[in-house]
Amino acid sequence: MQFYDYIYRNSIVHKLDPRTKIAWLVGLSFLVFLTNAKKSILFMLGLVLLIVLLSKLPLRNVWQSSKVFIIFFTIANVILFSLLLWSIKQGVVDGIFFSIKFLVLIISSIVFAMSTSPRDLMLSLTKMKVPYELAFMLTLAIRFVPVIAREINHVIDAQKARAHKIKFSLMHPIASMETFLPILIPTFHLLLMKAFDLSLSIEARAFRSKKERTYPPRLKLRTYDYISLIILIGISVYVTGGLR
Amino acid sequence: MNTLISVDNLTYYYPQEKNPVLQDISFKINKGDVLGIIGPSGCGKSTLMLALSGLIPHALKGDMHGAITILEEDTKKSSMAKLSQIVQILFQSPDSQLFALNVEDEITFGLENLNLPWKLIEKRLENTLNEVNIMSLRHRSIEELSSGQKQRVALAAILAMEPKILLFDEPTANLDQPSIERLGQIIKKLSKKHSIIIIEHNIEFLKNLTNRVLLMNKGKIILEDKYDKIINQKEYKEIMLPPHNTKQVLQKLKTISFQTKKKPILEIRGLNFTYANKTKALSNVSLTIGKGDFLGIIGQNGSGKSTLALNIIGILKGNGKIILDGQDIAKKDVFERTKSIGYVFQNPNYQLFEEDLEKEIAFGPMNMGLSKAEIKKRVEEVLQIMHLTEFRKNDPHALSVGQKRRVSIASVLTMKPEIIIVDEPDTGLDHKTARAVMNYIKELNKAGKTIIMISHSLELLAEYCTRVIGVKDGRIVRPEEVYKEY
C-alpha cells in the first residue's frame, strides 16, 4: 500500500520546483471554478492533458488513480443536473462540463503528487514557512503508512489463524464492531510501542535540540520555473478575459 | 584521559513503578573497549543502554539515582545535542529507527538537527556511506530495503554523528547468518575508532568481538570478566546456558534426515506462489510431511520459507495441491484449515487482545463455535500443559516475553490442531527462555502433534528437529545448501 505514489521520470514537470507546481495547482483550481465559459473549460482540460503528456508519467497509472473520480463525478453530475434542469439533454451537457471542472482539479493533483518527490515537497513546505515540525510529521506519515498497513495485515493474518472472521452487517452494527476488536486492539498496542521507539530514536538524533537547523540547499527556482510561472499568468489572463 | 564512561551507583525506576529496573550499577568503560552485556530477558540490559545514551533522563523521565559521566559530561546536566555527538545507539528494530523517506535524508537528519554547515554534512554523508559500504543505496527509498540493509542504513545514520561511543541493542536479533557475519566484520572495523557496547542474547556473537563482558540479572551486575572466563563461572551457569559450539551443531545437523520416515499427514504438490508485486516466492514446491514429524525449515530472509508456511495454513493461496489426510484442502479457507493446522506467529503481540489470559486462549475455540463446556475443558487442559495456570487472570500484555510466547502457543493449542507451525520461536528470547519454550513444543510433538518450525537458529534445529529441509529462492533444497552460507 502506497499513500504517496511518486514515480520518477526525467521530465520538465518533474524538474520544476515544487513551489512552482503548487502555484500551478492553486492557479488552475481557481481558474477552472471561476470560469463558466465552455471554451475555457475545454481549454483547461486540454492544458492538463498536455501536462500529463509532458510529465512522461505512465498513462496507465494516471488513469488508475483518476478513473474512480472520473466515472463517479460524471455519472453523479449528469444525474444531478438532469434532475435540476428537468431535461436530460441539457443535464448531460451541463453535467459533463461541471465534471470536467473537477477532473481538471483531480488530474492536476495526481500529476503533482506523482511528479513531486515527497522529500522535495517537505523541503519546499519549510521554504514556504510551514513550521518544520509540521513538515516532519507529514514525512513521518508518508513513511509509516506502508509500515502500519503491513502491521495491520500481520494482525489480521494472526487472528485469522485463530479462526477469527470479520463480519460486517448493517443490521447488527454493535456485533460487527466487536469482530473488529481483535484486530484493533493489537494494532493500537503495536503502534503505540512503535511510536514510543520512534520517539526515542528521534530524540537520540538531537531532534529540536537547537533553535536553528540546516536545510539541504537542494531547491532553487530556475529559469524554467520563471518561464512556467509567466505562462501561468498568461493563461490566467486568457481565461479570466474569457469571463467577460 | 582513559575512562570514557563512568557509571556510579545507578538506580532507575520507570515512571509509576515501585521496583527499580536497575539497582546500584557501577562500572567503567575505557577508550578502545568493546564491552558485551548479557543476561536473561528482562534483566535491565536495554534500560541500561537507554541510560548510557542519555535518553534516560532526557526523553524518559522516571526516577534516576546515581550518575553517569560520559567524557566528563554528567548525563543529567548535559543536553541531548551534546550527548548525541558523543554516544549513539543502534536500536534493535531498524524499522523504528528510520524515519526519513530515503537513505540520504536518513543519514543527514541528525546533522541537520545540529545545524552544521551543509558542506560538512555532505562530507560526513559520503564518509559514512563508504564506511558502511552502502554507497549504492544512497538514493534508495527506505521502504524498499531488506532488513539487513535497513540496519546498515541505521548504523550509517548514527555514525554520521561521529560519536566516540557506539551502543548496539541486540543487533543480530532480526538477521540471518550471512548478515550476522557481515555485521561482525563491520563492528570489528568500527572498534578501531570507537568504544563499543553490545547487548546480546546471541552470546557467541560476542566471542571474537569483545574484550570484556558484563553479566546482569534482576537489574544488577553480577559478573564482569573476559568472555572465555565469564562463561565458565558458577554465576553464569546458574542463569545462562553455555554458548553454542557451531562445529558440533553442524556435525549434529548432518545426522538429521531430509526425508520423512513416517506416514504422510500433509502433502504439497507443485505449489507455486507469486506476490502481487510479481515476486515469485515459491516455484513448484513439493513436500511430504509425516505424522509426528518435527520438521525444521531453514533459509535466508526472503527465501520463501514463511510464504510456504502461510500457504499451508491458507492465509496465502498459491497454485498447487495441498493434501491433508488424503483430502485436497487447497481450495479451503483459513477458517476451515484451522481445525487441523495451527500457526504460532513470530510476534505474540500480533494476537494478544483480551483482558485476561483465560479469555485469550479461549478465543480460538470460541471462534470455532464450540460449546462453553468444551471450551472450558480445553482451556483448563492447555493452562496445565503450558504451566500458565497461575497467570490465568493476568493481563497478557503485562507478561514477560517468554510467557507471552507460551500464551501464543497455548492460544493455538486450545484449537487442537494436528499440525502446529511455529515461526521463529526464539526471537527476542535468551537461550534459556528459548529452550524452556522449545521444551513445551517438544512435549507436544511427543504427544503426537506434527510440528513445522521455521528457524534461523542452527542450534534449535539440531537439538529439536527430527528432519530439516532448506528453502532457497522459493525451492526446497537439502539443508546443506543453506548451511554452507553459514
Query: What helix, strand, coil percent values describe chain B, rounded to 5?
Result: 40, 25, 35
Query: What helix, strand, coil percent values describe chain A, rounded to 5?
Result: 75, 0, 25
**What is the ipTM, given to two decimal places?**
0.87
Please judge whether A199 and B59 are an interchain contact, meaning their C-beta atoms are less than 8 angstroms apart: yes
Please judge whether B350 and A186 are an interchain contact, meaning their C-beta atoms are less than 8 angstroms apart: yes
Element spanning B327, H or E? strand B327-328
Kindly give, in sequence order, each residue whose CB lies less than 8 Å from that of residue A228, ignoring residues fewer than 6 positions away: A16, A20, A24
Q: Tell me the three cell numbers of residue A50.
A: 498536455
Short-list B384, B450, B382, B447, CA closest to B419? B450
Using CB atoms and an 8 Å cut-off, which of residues 155-174 of chain A contact chain B?
Answer: 155, 157-165
Residue listed under C-alpha cell 534445529: B461
Using CB atoms and an 8 Å cut-off, which of residues 169-208 of chain A contact chain B?
Answer: 181-182, 185-186, 189-190, 193-194, 197-208
pLDDT at residue A242, as a whole number: 53
Angle in degrees, CA B420, B421, B425, rounded to 5: 115
B243 compared with B289, residue with greater pLDDT? B289
Of A119, A161, A208, the CB nearest to B338: A161
Instruction: Round to whole Å and give the CA distance between B300 and B485.
Output: 9
B248-483 CATH choice from 3.40.50.10140, 3.40.50.360, 1.20.120.420, 3.40.50.300: 3.40.50.300
Q: Where in chain B is the domain with CATH 3.40.50.300?
A: 3-244, 248-483
Average pLDDT over residues A213-233: 93
B244: left (phi over 0), alpha (psi -120 to 50) or beta: beta
CA distances for A208 relative to A199, A213, B109, angstroms: 12, 8, 11
pLDDT tens-place string over residues A151-187: 999 999 999 999 998 887 778 888 888 889 999 999 9
pLDDT category at B21 given cuts 50, 70, 90 is very high
Q: How many C-alpha atoms does B104 have within 13 Å on its Cβ side?
A: 14
Instruction: Round to whole Å and give the CA distance between B288 and B266.
Output: 6
pLDDT tens-place string over residues A70-113: 899 899 999 999 999 888 888 999 999 999 999 999 999 999 99
Angle in degrees, CA B97, B99, B100, rounded to 5: 135
pLDDT category at A229 given cuts 50, 70, 90 is very high
Of A118, A119, A203, the CB nearest to B58: A203
A:B CB pairs within 8 Å: 163
CB B160 within 8 A of CB B108: yes
Please judge whether B105 and A182 are an interchain contact, meaning their C-beta atoms are less than 8 angstroms apart: no
Domain layout of chain A by residue ranges: 12-116+219-241, 131-204
B3-244 CATH choice from 3.40.50.300, 3.30.559.10, 3.40.50.1370, 3.40.50.261: 3.40.50.300
pLDDT tens-place string over residues A2-42: 556 788 899 999 999 999 999 999 999 999 989 888 999 99
CB B91 within 8 A of CB B167: no
For chain B, give the percent of residues with pLDDT over 70.
99
Angle in degrees, CA B143, B146, B150, rounded to 5: 70
The dihedrals phi and psi of B224, each to the nearest 5 degrees, come to -145, 115
Instruction: Round to whole Å and give the CA distance between B337 and B315.
Output: 10
